[in-house]
């Protein structure tokens, strides 16, 4: 076990109902975090075993990717029973122990709810497909074929091909925005909403502190089933789907983002409000209107608390101009809402590889993340500086990667096991892991970095401490966002405190005039200090300054 590193994070305070605003959430992909029973697959007890390590990071909450009963065609994002743990991951008792262990350390627990679709092996779908006039006949999205037998419209699946699958039982097509084994629920049906809210209540009663809501903008479709229009070639951004996927050829105007979704989210929020201190984080999957949807879904008190779009998950490297433009866009369309930012997660290549970052570049980006207005998601292994793992085709498990190989290699490269120590299986398991451990990751294992004040792990711990020490960074306003060549600067303000944040996002040194008298608050991170009214930032250097 890794020793606890005190971060000043007090025991869990249930009175802090606003903890999520500016909070830092650590995403755990349970299959790859820690295996407790040596079957090669991570599990719930494994997470509990590593709770001291998680606490040592200083995060506010963990988000655990799905662990519900599932045939695992999409590794848990195809749920066959929302109210039970898949035996692969453990039992409900194991989960109760995890909750207790997290709460004892002041860590909140968020779980990943997949409400847009189920597995085709869910009992609801079995009943729905059995009859056109049964009690659950309208719980999924069914449609007759066109006169020539083809699907009812041109909607496409993210995983390739038509979003419609023929079912011989009903002699109709059903909608699936993802795999054919993931039929879409029909949330226009009130009874479906009621059932999903009961699922939500089940886990709230079990003690969870909130939810990450998978594909939150896919919950509702256009009931008229109108064709999506084509997307102009110059707007086909490689973000939500890789460029080789024809999904990028459409403007998904009708297959998702339906305005009636706001009514369901209001019902969802009202349920969470009955459990003070809980919060919801929505994933907005849209390349064209992601920030607009974020704004609509988080405005006021009738939507979810926060959402993340994909602006900082794109393949395109961050530049000062991009950061300036993103936050100007947020101010314009989501000024009353709340964003959550991430560089990496279980669906995209790790940002160290995606952006080709040096060690100093990683530190600069991490310091920047801790200074941005919004909440933060960190993905397991990010704090170790892990790169995207290279896998052979024969090792792939992800159906997405298998479908589009080799132009798109899928998501397995960011899902390889966590590296805890320098052994053959990296301390993850005594058995052969479900995905191979990356040889490139081995030297970056936790045991090697723990206690090394120069390590990436130490830097992340210190960066989180800095954010916690300065409420202006977590909850304050952000203004004066300026881009000058490779220099990004902005100001954070809260309750009279003012911090100036400057980042050199390039290799060459940058000099700038500050105006006024400032002092560094990031010495422990290696942040630059001013010399009088001037500041020099080396390549990928940064400074976080407070007025004297």
Q: Considering all CA atoms of the chain, what is the largest pairwise distance in Å, rounded to the nearest integer?
A: 78
Catalytic residue among 35, 43, 60, 283: 283
Residues 6+ apart with CB under 8 A from 350: 344, 379, 381, 382, 386, 387, 388, 413, 414
Classify 135 in phi/psi space as left (phi over 0), alpha (psi -120 to 50) or beta: alpha
Burial of 37 (0-12, 13-18, 19+ CB in 10 A): middle
Q: At what angle do helices 320-333 and 290-298 cross, to 10 degrees?
A: 40
Gap between the Cα atoms of 200 and 36, Å rounded: 28
Residue-level length of the chain: 548
* 283 is known as an active-site residue: yes
Give one DSSP letter per residue of 83-121, joined into a string: EEE-TTT--HHHHHHHHHHHHHTT-EEEEEE--SB--TT
Written as six digits, the tokens of 172 are 């109709």
Catalytic residue among 35, 112, 120, 214: 214
Gap between the Cα atoms of 23 and 391, Å rounded: 34
Gap between the Cα atoms of 463 and 151, Å rounded: 52
Residues 6+ apart with CB under 8 A from 338: 21, 298, 305, 306, 307, 374, 375
Measured CA to CA in angstroms, residue 389 lies from 314, 352, 415 at distances of 18, 11, 8
Where are the strands (E) in 328-412, listed by range?
340-341, 375-379
Gap between the Cα atoms of 505 and 488, Å rounded: 7
Gap between the Cα atoms of 164 and 215, Å rounded: 18
Gap between the Cα atoms of 313 and 361, Å rounded: 16
Gap between the Cα atoms of 40 and 196, Å rounded: 32
Gap between the Cα atoms of 278 and 337, Å rounded: 17
Sign of CA dihedral 513, 515, 520, 522: negative
Q: How many CB atoms lie within 10 A of CB 254?
A: 20
H/E stretch holding 190 reads helix 190-205
* 214 is known as an active-site residue: yes
Written as six digits, the tokens of 150 are 């083809």
Is 430 in contact with 40 (CB distance < 8 Å)? no
Query: Could you list the active site residues?
Result: 214, 283
């Amino acid at each position: 076990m890794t020793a606890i590193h005190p971060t000043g994070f007090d025991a869990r305070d249930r009175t802090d109902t606003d903890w999520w605003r500016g909070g830092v959430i650590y995403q755990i992909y349970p299959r790859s975090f820690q295996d407790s029973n040596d079957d090669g697959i991570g599990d719930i007890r494994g997470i509990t075993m590593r709770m001291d390590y998680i606490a040592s990071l200083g995060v506010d909450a963990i988000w655990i990717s799905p662990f519900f009963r599932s045939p695992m065609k999409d590794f848990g994002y195809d749920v066959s029973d929302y109210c039970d743990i898949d035996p692969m991951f453990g039992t409900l008792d194991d989960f109760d122990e995890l909750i207790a262990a997290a709460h004892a350390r002041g860590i909140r627990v968020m779980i990943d709810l997949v409400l847009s679709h189920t597995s085709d092996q869910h009992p609801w779908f079995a009943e729905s497909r059995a009859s056109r006039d049964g009690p659950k006949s309208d719980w999924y999205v069914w449609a007759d074929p066109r006169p020539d037998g083809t699907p009812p419209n041109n909607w496409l699946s993210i995983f390739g091909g038509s979003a419609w699958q023929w079912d011989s039982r009903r002699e109709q097509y059903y909608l699936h925005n993802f795999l054919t084994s993931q039929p879409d629920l029909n949330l226009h049906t009130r009874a479906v909403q009621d059932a999903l809210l009961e699922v939500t209540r089940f886990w709230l009663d079990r003690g969870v502190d909130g939810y990450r809501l998978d594909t939150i903008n896919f919950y509702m479709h256009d009931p008229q089933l109108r064709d999506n229009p084509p997307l102009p070639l110059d707007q086909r951004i490689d973000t939500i789907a890789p460029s080789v996927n024809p999904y990028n050829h459409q403007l998904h105007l009708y297959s998702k983002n339906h305005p009636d979704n706001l009514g369901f989210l209001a019902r969802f929020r009202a349920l969470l409000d009955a459990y003070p201190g809980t919060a919801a984080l929505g994933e907005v999957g849209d390349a064209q209107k992601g920030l607009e949807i974020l704004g609509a879904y988080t405005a006021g008190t009738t939507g979810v608390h926060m959402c993340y779009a994909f602006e900082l998950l794109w393949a395109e490297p961050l530049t000062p101009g991009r950061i300036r433009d993103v936050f100007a866009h947020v101010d314009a369309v989501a000024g009353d809402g709340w964003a959550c930012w991430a560089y990496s997660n279980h669906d995209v290549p790790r940002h160290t590889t995606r952006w080709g970052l040096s060690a100093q570049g990683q530190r600069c980006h991490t310091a920047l993340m801790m200074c941005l207005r919004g909440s933060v998601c960190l993905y397991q292994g990010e704090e170790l500086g892990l790169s995207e793992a290279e896998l052979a085709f024969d090792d792939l498990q992800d159906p997405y990667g298998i479908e589009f190989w080799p132009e798109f290699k899928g998501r397995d490269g960011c899902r390889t096991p966590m590296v805890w120590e320098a052994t053959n299986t990296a301390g993850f398991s005594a058995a052969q892991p479900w995905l191979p451990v990356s040889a490139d990751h081995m030297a970056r294992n936790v045991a090697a970095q723990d206690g090394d004040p120069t390590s990436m792990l130490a830097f992340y711990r210190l960066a989180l401490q800095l954010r916690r020490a300065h409420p202006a960074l977590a909850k304050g306003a952000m203004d004066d966002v300026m881009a000058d060549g490779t220099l990004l600067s902005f100001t954070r303000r809260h309750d009279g405190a003012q911090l100036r944040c400057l980042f050199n996002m390039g290799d060459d040194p940058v000099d700038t005039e500050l105006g006024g008298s400032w002092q560094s608050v990031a010495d422990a991170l290696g942040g630059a200090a001013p010399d009088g009214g001037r500041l020099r930032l080396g390549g990928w250097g940064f400074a976080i300054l407070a007025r004297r």
